[in-house]
């Protein structure tokens, strides 16, 4: 049974309704973060690879490191020190059908559970 589960991608293994084989549209992508289904938004202005909502991050996922960043509408003097975490990330539409551990910034962004920065999208999307 274990070998069978390993040979299938996460969508088949979990019989997940949330997984789609293609992007929802040009800027929305179905992803799985630490086993939770979310719709991620592709943020082409984001210089970080991945930003996830803290509710998808477990205490043991935090690395103890921080990244300095600024929001699109923040002044030049504004800096946010955002914690980093290692999360299990899966996105079949980005050719990532199996969970992979990725470092993500952890930030509660209103209206978004996950932002995919341009670099991560470009690296994984055909």
**Whose structure tokens read 């040009």?**
26
pLDDT tens for each residue of 18-43: 444 444 467 888 899 999 999 998 88
CA distances from 122 to 22, 79, 125 (A): 15, 26, 5
Please provide residue 44's backbone torsions phi and psi, each rounded to the nearest 5 degrees. -70, -15
Mean pLDDT of the chain: 78
Beta bridge pairs of residue 112: 109
pLDDT attached to residue 124: 60
Residue 95 has pLDDT above 90, yes or no: no
The domains found in the chain, sorted by start residue, are: 22-124 (2.40.70.10)
pLDDT tens for each residue of 60-77: 999 999 998 877 777 888
DSSP 92: G
DSSP 112: B
Residue 7 has pLDDT above 70, yes or no: no
The pTM of this model reads 0.74
């Amino acid at each position: 049974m274990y070998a069978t589960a390993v040979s299938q991608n996460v969508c088949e293994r979990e019989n997940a309704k949330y997984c789609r084989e293609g992007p929802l549209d040009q800027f929305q992508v179905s992803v799985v973060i630490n086993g939770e289904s979310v719709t991620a938004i592709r943020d082409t202005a984001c210089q970080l690879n991945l930003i996830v909502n803290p509710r998808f991050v477990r205490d043991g996922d935090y690395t103890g490191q921080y990244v300095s960043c600024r929001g699109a509408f923040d002044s030049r003097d504004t800096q946010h020190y955002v914690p980093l975490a290692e999360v299990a990330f899966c996105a079949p539409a980005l050719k990532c059908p199996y969970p992979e551990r990725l470092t993500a910034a952890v930030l509660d962004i209103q209206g978004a559970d996950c932002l995919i920065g341009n670099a991560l999208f470009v690296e994984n999307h055909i």
